[in-house]
Structure formats: structure tokens, C-alpha cells
């Protein structure tokens, strides 16, 4: 016998409670899996990001302007704190992609000739660097290449400065600037309709009359250099050249999305594991307490035989330890598996040269520590009780539990209750804390389900709001420059065009005291129908005649309230500086926006009735021809189609949401089942003697099942509504956690979400009930009555 | 888990010099009070009792008279409220939990009225529980052979009759070759014949291994087996009777 008798007992006890132990392991493993997954992803993302930024020289400060002379470059380089400077020409073009009815937007970025870029170096995935020679050789971003199955040697038709031209793809590249490749203003990347191209500088400059000039500048900082100071000095230098204002990494859109994801992973690494570990700890607590209670006399006997407190304590700690070790192995494995799946999914959104899953051993150690803390924390009291159990005391049979008439009975309603109902109620009332915790555990299952489905509800709601209520138009056309009212008339006369409304968009910097923010002000028609500014409830916010309407988030960033003044520094044209009042704040769910009455905006800009683009409502049948006609107009820089945007959103988000949903349902079922099954098992163990006695004196199986399952049913029925409330609270917490500049999640929980959460928990309860019923049917009357409880 | 604590405890079976009839236990004015809320229950009210080496003592007395309390105190399972209990001259009442555990581990064998076997362990494993931590134990199968259970080694308690379970409990108690064997109503739940088998096992331990033995019983007939019969009543020793000749378990009838 190599295994000591006490360890054999431990293993056999475990086998005896395998159902419960499995449930606990699974719940705990879920928590550890999300924990490991988020930490591994966090590590992988951060490491990859830092290495990429470092190796490919991601700048610290960015600025775009209309046209600056090359001579400025030296002066920018001389700004204290600046390490490296790169100047470029960046132009937006319309692409004509086969298979796409509407035009795609291409961004052409110049690359220096005969040297590598100082900053934002490219990673060449395939092909070679383009050479100058009038052939329009370009590198294309891998996202766009993948979306259109472009290969080296392919051609892309583009309108360069009003002239149709062909770009020759000679390579496929990635840039740290476009890890998240998204068109400014979009919610999600749309690789079909937005692509980045790199082209030799002389060619791009020639095509856009930018020889000897640049319109985009990148700076990196020396160690210890302050981005804010460099921005101030840089702004002073580039201001005369039509600058839109310099900004740092925080405002760089790709960086913003990546860091946002990192922030969310940090949230996930904390919130989800807490829920699961709480439930697992609760289950462990109940099961181990129960075990110590049932084994009271065994413990006493062991002590009488000469086993000490420490040995008794170790015995139970080992038992808990086995459960924890299995949980850690299971959870760690699942976490790594999920992380590798997520890595693949991330690769679709984040374009790194390589995104490798990186597993720090520290993560697994941390997971083990967390589970140890939760597991041993939850069982410490029970184990201490076992250790302290006075052996003499335990040799006496435990006094019968104290039952009292229930409140219902004391209030004189006992005639309403059958003996079975009384037994159920008395049991619940005798252990109110345990009943409450079981109820809470069941509630957690429902809550996790609500939380999981809520994300989908919220996204659906946001999409509907955005595409049905806010954007009532089918198409948006943006002009190359601002135009007069004649442009509006021109579009109106296109065949198929329905209602057409103009808008004026302008880049500004808003200042309130020392806080400032670069945004675009969208000037809308006061009584417009095609673009409605609404809050999260879909309530329209009327545009005031004067003054700005800001996103609530923007109000927070600038720390302004309705009525407060803000300074508007226009970053285009005459670069007017005006003080304006905040007319209204609107709680929207995406980005930070500013809206104004278009006429008021025209006045602020000291211009006539200029417009930057139009919203068009069109008969769906006419869409195709309308697109074609519009993209052929030289004044039109870009056309976007709402349906296409919506479709691409569905495509990209769909998969993500489906996966999240599958995980959430799996998790919730495990929690719900784990809790229900455990409470059922425990109360069966506590009352098997009583139930066996009832059977012996003539109760039928159905009748004793009633007693046993009745308790389960009551706990489940109380737990579900509680869980729905907690789920709503979780959803609320999530909306707060996700309250970033990029997104706000509306707090919307559909009824169907509540219904399906309740259903899943009920089904889990029913299955547990069925298992318990089968155990009751097999209840060995003789064995139960023979054993001393 | 340390098998050998290294700390010296009074050695076994070495009566103090000068004692012609070695005294194992020496209880003086032992009192035990349980505080039950408002009321104090005086389980023992000043018991004086000696137990000599190799002696077979039977404790008689009505229910609630304090028999179990006394036995538990002698065996180091419990501590008296006042008074002293010496084991081979060593005062047990001074001992802390750790020392009492060692005392039980090294010197005492317990047999309980309700067997108290570990249900998830086989007969052999239940005995192994003790042999694994004792200083010079028998092998588990040896101990089980002493109670005629050599062919039930791998049975779980649920697969044994009450008498067989009690014999496993006795094997478990004697396997460590204890210096004292304390039995609380070992036959309480058994019929006559099974009771006799169990008593024979105890008797054998006493006669063949020389184990000092104390047995609690409600059955006055069993008292005939004893060298000495001590009666308790209301927490006090009410009567002590010496048996000239003790009857073998086999001859008992009730
Ligand atoms: N842990 C305890 N708490 C309170 N009272 C106790 C406790 N243990 C024993 N008693 C009381 O002490 C008295 C003596 O109990 P003890 O168990 O020693 O009696 P006994 O002689 O063994 O009785 P029985 O023959 O019924 O086993 C009884 O009145 C009992 O109720
Ligand atoms: Mg007793």
C-alpha cells in the first residue's frame, strides 16, 4: 500500500462527490479561462504592439495641413524634444474596384525615394518597394489586398486629382499607422471600401501639384520629450499652411482602437473571473462545509485514533487542492485555447506583421494563485471547524436540527400548507443564509446570460439607431472642396435622386480653459430630415439656431455644460477663432461629435452658403446608377452607401458576436447547472434519512420527490428574477466600463434576452431536478436508515 | 505529518519505581461541568479512580451518570473542568491539544459504541489508519486476524454486519499495541452472540497483549468478565467491586 489510508479516504470522498466536484471545477475553470485568456491576449497585444512600434518607428506626434514648403522640415526637426521627422504627401482618392457598385476610398501615402522612411516604416509582406518611372507602382495595405484578393502584378483603377489612372501593385505592406485600418468617422473597419497605398513621393507630388511641398508630418520624440510642448511649437510652425492641428498618439485613430482593446481586455481580466470565482467559491464553501458536517464522527474518530489537528486540516486542504489543481489545469488549458482563437480573430482586425500568442508563465502562476485564494478562502472556515472539532463532543450524536414553524404557519395559515410544503418551507427557513446563497448562485447563472446577450442587444440597438434614426439617407457624397448651392442642384438632378440635403463639415479645435480637442463640426440643415441628431433613446435633439451640440463625452472631456462657452479654432480657410456657447449635449454611442446649424456654421466661417457634401435619399432600385453617376462627378471625393456600411458591419461583428454568445451561454449553463445541481445534491444528502423514513412509512416516490424538488423549484424561481436584476446591473456596469471615447454602449436589454436567460436557467434546473429524481428513485432505504447521520 | 515527534512521552508499560502493582491511570477529584446556557450540567462531581497495569475494569452506571465523560477524559479526548488525571505519573490535564493527540496516538486504543469506522475505507484501510501513525504496530491483516476477520480485509463497512464492524473497530484499536484500551459500550448495538465475539476480542487483547482495559457497559452480566467493577452514579463513584475470579466472555449469558 503506497498510498496512505487517509489519502485513500480523500480520493474516495472525491469520487463520491464527483458530480459536485466536477461542477465546481467547471465553474472555476470558466473563471480561470477568461482570466488566462485576457491576460495572455493582453501580454501578446502589448508585446507585439511595442515591438512593432519600436521596430517600425511609430511616431509620437502627427499633423496634417494643406501644403507646406519642404524648407519647413528643417525647422520642425529643430523643435526641442523632436528626435526624427518625416514629411509626406497624403491624398485621398476614389477607387473603382470591380465587384463594388459604389466607389472605395483609397489613401495614397508618399514614400521617400532611395531611402527608407524615417518614421512609420513599412513591413513588406510580399513583392518589392515601388520604383519611380511613371508606371504608378504602389504598395497596397494587406487588409485591402486580402479583401479584394489583390496580388502583386494586379492593377487598381483610381481617380487621381480628377484624372482616371491605374495603380500597379508591386507589393503588399503593413504600417504601424494602420494596425487598425479604419476610415476616419467609421465605427468599424471596412477593408473592402478603404485601402491604403504607398507610392514614390515624386509621382504623388507630381499628380497633386505638391512638388517641393508636403501636407503631412510625423515626429518622434527624444526620451523625455514632451508631446504637448512639441505640439504647441509644431502648431505655431505649421499654422500658416492650413494645418488641422498637430496631435499625439492618443488621437491617432489606429492607436486609439488598439489601446481601447487593451483597456477592455484589462476589464475582462477582472470582471468575468470575479463572477465565476465568486460562484465557484460559494459552491466549494457549501460542499466542503457539508462534507465536514457529515464527517463529524469520522473526524472525531480520527482524532481519537491519534490524528492531530494539522493532519485533519491537511486532509481537507488536500481534497480542496485536488479540485483546485484540476480547475487550474482545465481553466488554464481552456484559457490558452480561447486565447489562440482570439489571436486568430484579432488578426482580422489588427494588422500586425505577426501577432503571436505569447504566454508568460507568470499568467498561469497568477491563475493558480487566484484559484488558491478563492478556493482556500472559501473553505478555510469549514476546514478550521474540522480541525477544532472536539473529539469527545463529536462522539455524541449531533443534536437534531432545530426547526421552527415557518412565518407562514405562525401567521395562522398552516391549514393552507400540506405537510410536504411545510417541510420545504421549514428547511428553507432553518438555513436562510444557505438558501439565500443558493438563490444568488442560480441568479448568477441568469445574470451571466443576460450580460452575454445584452452586448448583442446593445449593438443591435445602436446599429438600428444609427442607420434607421440618425442616418435617414441612403448615400453620402463628400466633395473635393466646398461648393456653392449649385452643387446641390446638380446632385438633385441626377436620375434616381430623391430628397437631397447639404451639410458643411469643418475641422476645428475646441478649447475650454486648458482642455482642448480636435473634432469636426457637422453643420446640418436646421429642419433637415436625412440626418437626425438623437440621444441614446432615439429622442431627436433639435439644433439650436446658434451654439454647438456636443457629444456628452466631448462635454466631459472639455468639462463643459450646457450654456458654457467654448473657443472654436477653425483649422481651415480663414482660420477664424470664435467663442460659442454649448447649446445642448447629446449622449451618443460612438466617437465624439459636434453639430451645428449649417447656416450658423457658414456665418462662423465667414463664408457664403458653402457645403462640403450632401446626404441623398434614393429609391433602392436607382442606387446602382446613382452611384455610378455620382462617382463620375469630378467634384465628388467619396460616396458612401449606408447599406454597404451596414452590411460590412454585420459581416465583421457577426462572427465576433456569435463567438461571444456561444462562450457566454456555455459559461452561464455551467454556472446555473453547477449551482442548481449542487444545492439539489446537498439537500438530498442532508435529508436522505428523513426522506427514507417517509418512504418507509408509506410516502410514494412522487411525494418525496415533491418535497425535494419543491425546494429546488422555489430557489430557482426566486433566483431567476434576482438574476435578471443582477444581469441588468452587470449590463449597467459594462456600459460604464466601456464608456470610452470610441464607443459608449447603450443600456438596452431586450425582453427576449430576459426570456432566454430565464429559459436556460430553467432548463438547467430541470435537468438537475431530473438527476436528483433519479437519485431519489434509487435511494437505498435500508442503507440510508442503517447509517448513522 | 510526523510519525515520530522526537519528544519523549512517558514510556509504555514501565510502572513507576516502587509501585508493586503499577498504576496506569490515577484520577483525583475529577470534575466536569458542561455549561448549557443558563444551566450547568455536572457530569462528574469529583471522581477518584485508579487503574492498574493489565487490569480489566468495567464501568457500570445508569444513563447520564458520567461514564462516557470519564472514559473520554482518561483517554485524552476531553479535559476535566478540575482535578487531575495522571497517566504513568504524567499529568494529562496539563497537556495541550498537541500533547493529548500524541498521547492518544502512542498509548490509547478506542472502541466506540457506534464503531465510527471511516465508511470510504475498507476494513484493512481502517486499521491502516492507525498502523500508519503508530510506533510499533502490527500489520493490519494481523490485527484483523485477531478478531477473526482475516477473510474480510477488503470489505467496506457498509458490506459488514454491525458485529463485524465493531470487530474491525477493535482490530483498529489494538493494532497499535496500545497500552490502554478504552471501550464505550462496545456491545451496545449488538445481539448476544455477536456481543460475545466482540468481547472475546477485547478479552484477548487484555489477556494476551496485557493491555490495560476499561469497558463501559449497561449490561451487568458483562461485569463478570472484569477484574474490578466500578459503578458510577450521578457523577460520583458509588461502588467498587473486585471479582475474585473473572468469567471468560464465552461463558457469559444474558
Ligand atoms: N457535550 C456535552 N454538553 C452538555 N452536556 C453533556 C455533554 N456531554 C455530556 N453531557 C451531560 O453530562 C452527563 C453525563 O454524560 P455521559 O455521556 O458521560 O453519560 P453516560 O453515563 O455515558 O450516559 P449513557 O449511558 O447514556 O451513555 C449527562 O447528563 C449529559 O447530558
Ligand atoms: Mg455514554
Cα distance between residue A423 and residue A425, in whole Å: 6
Residue-by-residue DSSP string for A656-706: HHHHHHHHHHHHHHHHHHHHHHHHHHHHHHHHHHHHHHHHHTT--HHHHHH
Of B99, B81, B89, nearest to B29 by C-alpha is: B81
Sign of CA dihedral A32, A34, A37, A41: negative
Answer yes or no: are the C-beta atoms of B226 and B215 closer than 8 Å.
yes
Q: For chain B, what are the domain ranges?
A: 23-246
Kindly indicate whether the domain formed by B23-246 is annotated with CATH number 3.40.50.10420. Answer: no
pLDDT bucket at B229, cuts 50 / 70 / 90? very high
Q: Point out the residue among B119, B128, B133 whose CB comes nearest to the CB of A307.
A: B133
Cα distance between residue A671 and residue A452, in whole Å: 13
Answer yes or no: are the C-beta atoms of B34 and B68 closer than 8 Å.
no
Q: What pTM did the predictor assign?
A: 0.79
Q: When comparing pLDDT for A154 and A100, which is higher? A: A154
Residue nearest to atom 6 of ligand 1 (CA): B34
pLDDT reading at B13 higher than 50:
no
Q: Which residue of A has its CA nearest to B134?
A: A306
Chain-chain contact of B104 with A306 (C-beta, under 8 angstroms)? yes
pLDDT bucket at B16, cuts 50 / 70 / 90? very low
Q: What would the mean pLDDT of A194-202 be, rounded to a whole number?
A: 93
Going from the Cα of B184 to the center of ligand 1, the distance in angstroms, rounded, reads 12
pLDDT bucket at A652, cuts 50 / 70 / 90? low
- Which residues of B are less than 8 Å from A781 in CB distance? none
This model of the complex carries an ipTM of 0.86
Q: How far is CA A196 from CA A107, A212, A246, A646, in A?
A: 5, 23, 21, 21
Q: When comparing pLDDT for A34 and B14, which is higher? A: A34
The atom of ligand 1 lying closest to the CA of B218 is 25
Chain-chain contact of B78 with A391 (C-beta, under 8 angstroms)? yes
Q: For chain A, what are the domain ranges?
A: 57-256, 440-462+654-789, 472-641
What DSSP designation does A545 have? Answer: S
pLDDT reading at A534 higher than 70:
yes
Cα distance between residue A446 and residue A765, in whole Å: 11
- Which residues of A are less than 8 Å from B118 in CB distance? 9, 298, 301-302
Q: What would the mean pLDDT of A699-725 be, rounded to a whole number?
A: 85
Predicted local distance difference test score (pLDDT) of residue B209: 84
- Which residues of B are less than 8 Å from A391 in CB distance? 72, 77-78
The atom of ligand 1 lying closest to the CA of B232 is 21
Asked which of A571-575, A675-679, B106-110, B138-142 is least confident by mean pLDDT, the reply is: A571-575
C-alpha cell read off for A660: 461571444
Q: For B156-172, write each residue's pLDDT tens digit.
A: 998 998 889 988 998 99
Cα distance between residue A265 and residue A258, in whole Å: 11
Residue nearest to atom 10 of ligand 1 (CA): B43
Q: Which residues line ligand 1 (CB under 6 A)?
A: A 393, 396; B 34, 36, 41, 43, 61, 63-69
Answer yes or no: are the C-beta atoms of A240 and A90 closer than 8 Å.
no
pLDDT reading at A187 higher than 70:
no
Percentage with pLDDT > 90 across chain A: 36
Q: When comparing pLDDT for A242 and A7, which is higher? A: A7
Q: When comparing pLDDT for B152 and B19, which is higher? A: B152
Q: What is the dihedral of CA A334, A337, A343, A349, to 10 degrees?
A: -70
C-alpha cell read off for A100: 463594388
What DSSP designation does A530 have? Answer: S
pLDDT bucket at A537, cuts 50 / 70 / 90? confident
Answer yes or no: are the C-beta atoms of A504 and A602 closer than 8 Å.
yes
pLDDT reading at B12 higher than 50:
no
Name the residue of A391, A395, A396, A399 whose CB sits within 8 Å of the most ligand 1 atoms, as the mutation to test its pocket. Answer: A396
Interface mutation vs chain A, best among B101, B121, B186, most A CBs within 10 Å: B101
pLDDT bucket at A779, cuts 50 / 70 / 90? confident
pLDDT bucket at A768, cuts 50 / 70 / 90? confident
Chain-chain contact of A301 with B102 (C-beta, under 8 angstroms)? no
Question: In this structure, how many other beta carbons lie within 10 angstroms of the beta carbon of residue A126?
Answer: 15
Q: Where are any strands of DSSP class E within B127-208?
A: 180-184
Predicted local distance difference test score (pLDDT) of residue A329: 95
pLDDT reading at A331 higher than 90:
yes
Interface mutation vs chain B, best among A302, A319, A395, most B CBs within 10 Å: A395
Q: Point out the residue among A5, A16, A306 whose CB comes nearest to the CB of B101.
A: A306
Is B105 within 8 Å of chain A by CB?
Answer: yes
Q: Which residue of B has its CA nearest to A315?
A: B1
The atom of ligand 1 lying closest to the CA of B35 is 4
Predicted local distance difference test score (pLDDT) of residue A272: 79
Q: What angle do CA A508, A514, A520 make, to 5 degrees?
A: 15
Predicted local distance difference test score (pLDDT) of residue A394: 63
Predicted local distance difference test score (pLDDT) of residue A378: 93
Interface mutation vs chain A, best among B110, B113, B156, most A CBs within 10 Å: B110
Q: What is the mean pLDDT of chain A?
A: 86
Predicted local distance difference test score (pLDDT) of residue B9: 45
Q: Which residue of A has its CA nearest to B117?
A: A298
Q: What angle do CA A741, A743, A749 make, to 5 degrees?
A: 140
Predicted local distance difference test score (pLDDT) of residue B20: 42
Q: Which residues contact A702 (CB under 8 A, 6 or more apart)?
A: none
Interface mutation vs chain B, best among A3, A299, A304, most B CBs within 10 Å: A304
Q: What would the mean pLDDT of A512-538 be, rounded to a whole number?
A: 85
Name the residue of B36, B68, B77, B215 whose CB sits within 8 Å of the most ligand 1 atoms, as the mutation to test its pocket. Answer: B68
Residue nearest to atom 7 of ligand 1 (CA): B34
Chain-chain contact of B121 with A314 (C-beta, under 8 angstroms)? no
Rg (CA), chain B: 18
Going from the Cα of B69 to the center of ligand 1, the distance in angstroms, rounded, reads 6
Q: How far is CA B221 from CA B190, B192, B252, in A?
A: 14, 11, 7
- Which residues of A are less than 8 Å from B158 in CB distance? 783, 786-787
C-alpha cell read off for A274: 470575479
Chain-chain contact of A305 with B129 (C-beta, under 8 angstroms)? yes
- Which residues of B are less than 8 Å from A784 in CB distance? none
Q: Which residues contact A492 (CB under 8 A, 6 or more apart)?
A: A500
Percentage with pLDDT > 70 across chain A: 94
Q: Point out the residue among B106, B134, B158 whose CB comes nearest to the CB of A783.
A: B158
Going from the Cα of B29 to the center of ligand 2, the distance in angstroms, rounded, reads 20
Asked which of A20-34, A136-150, A489-503, A648-662 is least confident by mean pLDDT, the reply is: A648-662
Predicted local distance difference test score (pLDDT) of residue A408: 61
pLDDT reading at A293 higher than 90:
no
Q: Which residue of A has its CA nearest to B172?
A: A305
What DSSP designation does A469 have? Answer: I
**Which residues of A make CB contacts under 8 Å with B?**
1, 4-6, 8-9, 12-13, 16, 297-298, 300-311, 314, 390-392, 395-397, 783, 786-788
pLDDT bucket at A405, cuts 50 / 70 / 90? low
Q: For B70-104, write each residue's pLDDT tens digit.
A: 999 999 988 999 999 999 999 999 999 889 999 99
Percentage with pLDDT > 90 across chain B: 54
pLDDT bucket at A615, cuts 50 / 70 / 90? very high
Question: In this structure, how many other beta carbons lie within 10 angstroms of the beta carbon of residue A734?
Answer: 18
pLDDT bucket at B19, cuts 50 / 70 / 90? very low
Is B102 within 8 Å of chain A by CB?
Answer: yes
C-alpha cell read off for B36: 448549557
Residue nearest to atom 4 of ligand 1 (CA): B34
Answer yes or no: are the C-beta atoms of A197 and A169 closer than 8 Å.
no
What DSSP designation does A105 have? Answer: E
Predicted local distance difference test score (pLDDT) of residue A120: 93
Cα distance between residue A238 and residue A215, in whole Å: 10
Amino acid at each position: 500500500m503506497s498510498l496512505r489510508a487517509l489519502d485513500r479516504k480523500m480520493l474516495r470522498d472525491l469520487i463520491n462527490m464527483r458530480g459536485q466536484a466536477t461542477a465546481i471545477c467547471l465553474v472555476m475553470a470558466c473563471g480561470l479561462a477568461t482570466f488566462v485568456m485576457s491576460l495572455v491576449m493582453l501580454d501578446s497585444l502589448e508585446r507585439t504592439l511595442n515591438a512593432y512600434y519600436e521596430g517600425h518607428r511609430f511616431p509620437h506626434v502627427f499633423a496634417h495641413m494643406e501644403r507646406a514648403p519642404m524648407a519647413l522640415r528643417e525647422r520642425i526637426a529643430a523643435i526641442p524634444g523632436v528626435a526624427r521627422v518625416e514629411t509626406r504627401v497624403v491624398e485621398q482618392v476614389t477607387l473603382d474596384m470591380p465587384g463594388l457598385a459604389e466607389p472605395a476610398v483609397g489613401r495614397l501615402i508618399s514614400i521617400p525615394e532611395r531611402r527608407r522612411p524615417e518614421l512609420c516604416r513599412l513591413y513588406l509582406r510580399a513583392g518589392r518597394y515601388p520604383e519611380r518611372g511613371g508606371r504608378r507602382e504602389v504598395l497596397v495595405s494587406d487588409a485591402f489586398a486580402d479583401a479584394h484578393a489583390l496580388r502583386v502584378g494586379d492593377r487598381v483603377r483610381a481617380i487621381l486629382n480628377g484624372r482616371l489612372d491605374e495603380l500597379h501593385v508591386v507589393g503588399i505592406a503593413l504600417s504601424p499607422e494602420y494596425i487598425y485600418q479604419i476610415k476616419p468617422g467609421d465605427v468599424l473597419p471596412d477593408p473592402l471600401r478603404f485601402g491604403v497605398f504607398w507610392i514614390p513621393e515624386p509621382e504623388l507630388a507630381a499628380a497633386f501639384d505638391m512638388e517641393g511641398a508636403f501636407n503631412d508630418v510625423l515626429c518622434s520624440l527624444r526620451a523625455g520629450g514632451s508631446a504637448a510642448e512639441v505640439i504647441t511649437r509644431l502648431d505655431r510652425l505649421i499654422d500658416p499652411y492650413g494645418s488641422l492641428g498637430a496631435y499625439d498618439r492618443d488621437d491617432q485613430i489606429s492607436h486609439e482602437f488598439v489601446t481601447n482593446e487593451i483597456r477592455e481586455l484589462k476589464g475582462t481580466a477582472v470582471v468575468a473571473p470575479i463572477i465565476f470565482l465568486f460562484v465557484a467559491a460559494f459552491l466549494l464553501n457549501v460542499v466542503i462545509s457539508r462534507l465536514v458536517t457529515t464527517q463529524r464522527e469520522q473526524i472525531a474518530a480520527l482524532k481519537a485514533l491519534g490524528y492531530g489537528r494539522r493532519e485533519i486540516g491537511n486532509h481537507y486542504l488536500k481534497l480542496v487542492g485536488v479540485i483546485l489543481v484540476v480547475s487550474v489545469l482545465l481553466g488554464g488549458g481552456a484559457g490558452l485555447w480561447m486565447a489562440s482563437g482570439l489571436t486568430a480573430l484579432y488578426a482580422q482586425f489588427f494588422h500586425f506583421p505577426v501577432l503571436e500568442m505569447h504566454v508568460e508563465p507568470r499568467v498561469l502562476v497568477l491563475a493558480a494563485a487566484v484559484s488558491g485564494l478563492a478556493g482556500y478562502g472559501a473553505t478555510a472556515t469549514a476546514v478550521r471547524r474540522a480541525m477544532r472539532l472536539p473529539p469527545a463532543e463529536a462522539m455524541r450524536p449531533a443534536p437534531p436540527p432545530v426547526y421552527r414553524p415557518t412565518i407562514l404557519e405562525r401567521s395562522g395559515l398552516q391549514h393552507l400548507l400540506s405537510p410536504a410544503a411545510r417541510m420545504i418551507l421549514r428547511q428553507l427557513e432553518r438555513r436562510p443564509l444557505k438558501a439565500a446563497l443558493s438563490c444568488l448562485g442560480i441568479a448568477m447563472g441568469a445574470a451571466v446570460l443576460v450580460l452575454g446577450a445584452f452586448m448583442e442587444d446593445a449593438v443591435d440597438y445602436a446599429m438600428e439607431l444609427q442607420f434607421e434614426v440618425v442616418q435617414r439617407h441612403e448615400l453620402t457624397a463628400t466633395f473635393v472642396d466646398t461648393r456653392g448651392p449649385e452643387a446641390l442642384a446638380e446632385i438633385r438632378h441626377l436620375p434616381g435622386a430623391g430628397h437631397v440635403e447639404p451639410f458643411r463639415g469643418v475641422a476645428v479645435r475646441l478649447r475650454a480653459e486648458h482642455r482642448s480637442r480636435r473634432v469636426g463640426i457637422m453643420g446640418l440643415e436646421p429642419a433637415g430630415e436625412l440626418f437626425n441628431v438623437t440621444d441614446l433613446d432615439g429622442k431627436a435633439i433639435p439644433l439650436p439656431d446658434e451654439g454647438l451640440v456636443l457629444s456628452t463625452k466631448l462635454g466631459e472631456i472639455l468639462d463643459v455644460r450646457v450654456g458654457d462657452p467654448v473657443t472654436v479654432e477653425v483649422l481651415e480657410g480663414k482660420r477664424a477663432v470664435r467663442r460659442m456657447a454649448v447649446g445642448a449635449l447629446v449622449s451618443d454611442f460612438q466617437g465624439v461629435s459636434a453639430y451645428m446649424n449649417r447656416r450658423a456654421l457658414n456665418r462662423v466661417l465667414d463664408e457664403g452658403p458653402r457645403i462640403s457634401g450632401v446626404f441623398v435619399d434614393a429609391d433602392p432600385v436607382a442606387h446602382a446608377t446613382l452611384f455610378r453617376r455620382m462617382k463620375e462627378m469630378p467634384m465628388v471625393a467619396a460616396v458612401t452607401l449606408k447599406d454597404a456600411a451596414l452590411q460590412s458591419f454585420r459581416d465583421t461583428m457577426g462572427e465576433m458576436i456569435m463567438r461571444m454568445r456561444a462562450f457566454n451561454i456555455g459559461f452561464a449553463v455551467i454556472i446555473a447547472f453547477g449551482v442548481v445541481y449542487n444545492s439539489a445534491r446537498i439537500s438530498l444528502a442532508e435529508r436522505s434519512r428523513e426522506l427514507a423514513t417517509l418512504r418507509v412509512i408509506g410516502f410514494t416516490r412522487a411525494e418525496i420527490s415533491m418535497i425535494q424538488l419543491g425546494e429546488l423549484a422555489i430557489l430557482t424561481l426566486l433566483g431567476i428574477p434576482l438574476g435578471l436584476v443582477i444581469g441588468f446591473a452587470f449590463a449597467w456596469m459594462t456600459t460604464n466600463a466601456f464608456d470610452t471615447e470610441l464607443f459608449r454602449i447603450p443600456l438596452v436589454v431586450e425582453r427576449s434576452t430576459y426570456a432566454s436567460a430565464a429559459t436556460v436557467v430553467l432548463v438547467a434546473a430541470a435537468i438537475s431536478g431530473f438527476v436528483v429524481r433519479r437519485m431519489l428513485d434509487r435511494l437505498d432505504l435500508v442503507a440510508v436508515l442503517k447509517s448513522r447521520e | 505529518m510526523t510519525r515520530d515527534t522526537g519528544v519523549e512521552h512517558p514510556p509504555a508499560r514501565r510502572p513507576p519505581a516502587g509501585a508493586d502493582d503499577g498504576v496506569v491511570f490515577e484520577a483525583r477529584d475529577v470534575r466536569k461541568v458542561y455549561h448549557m446556557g443558563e444551566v450547568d450540567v455536572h457530569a462528574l462531581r469529583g471522581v477518584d479512580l485508579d487503574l492498574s497495569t493489565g487490569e480489566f475494569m468495567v464501568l457500570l452506571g445508569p444513563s447520564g451518570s458520567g461514564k462516557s465523560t470519564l472514559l473520554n477524559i482518561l483517554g485524552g479526548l476531553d479535559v476535566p473542568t478540575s482535578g487531575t488525571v495522571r497517566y504513568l505519573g504524567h499529568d494529562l490535564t496539563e497537556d495541550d491539544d498537541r500533547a493529548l493527540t500524541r498521547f492518544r496516538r502512542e498509548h490509547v486504543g478506542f472502541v466506540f459504541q457506534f464503531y465510527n469506522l471511516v465508511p470510504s475505507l475498507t476494513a484493512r484501510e481502517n486499521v491502516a489508519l492507525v498502523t500508519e501513525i503508530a510506533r510499533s504496530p502490527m500489520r493490519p491483516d494481523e490485527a484483523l486476524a485477531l478478531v477473526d476477520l482475516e477473510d474480510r480485509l477488503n470489505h467496506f463497512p457498509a458490506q459488514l454486519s454491525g458485529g463485524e464492524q465493531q470487530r474491525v473497530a477493535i482490530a483498529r484499536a489494538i493494532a497499535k499495541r496500545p497500552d490502554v484500551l478504552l471501550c464505550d459500550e462496545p456491545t451496545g448495538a449488538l445481539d448476544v452472540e455477536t456481543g460475545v465475539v466482540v468481547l472475546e476480542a477485547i478479552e484477548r487483547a487484555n489477556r494476551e497483549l496485557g493491555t490495560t482495559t476499561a469497558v463501559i457497559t449497561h449490561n451487568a452480566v458483562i461485569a463478570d468478565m472484569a477484574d474490578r467493577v466500578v459503578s458510577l452514579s450521578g457523577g460520583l463513584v458509588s461502588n467498587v467491586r473486585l471479582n475474585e475470579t473473572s468469567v471468560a466472555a464465552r461463558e457469559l449469558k444474558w
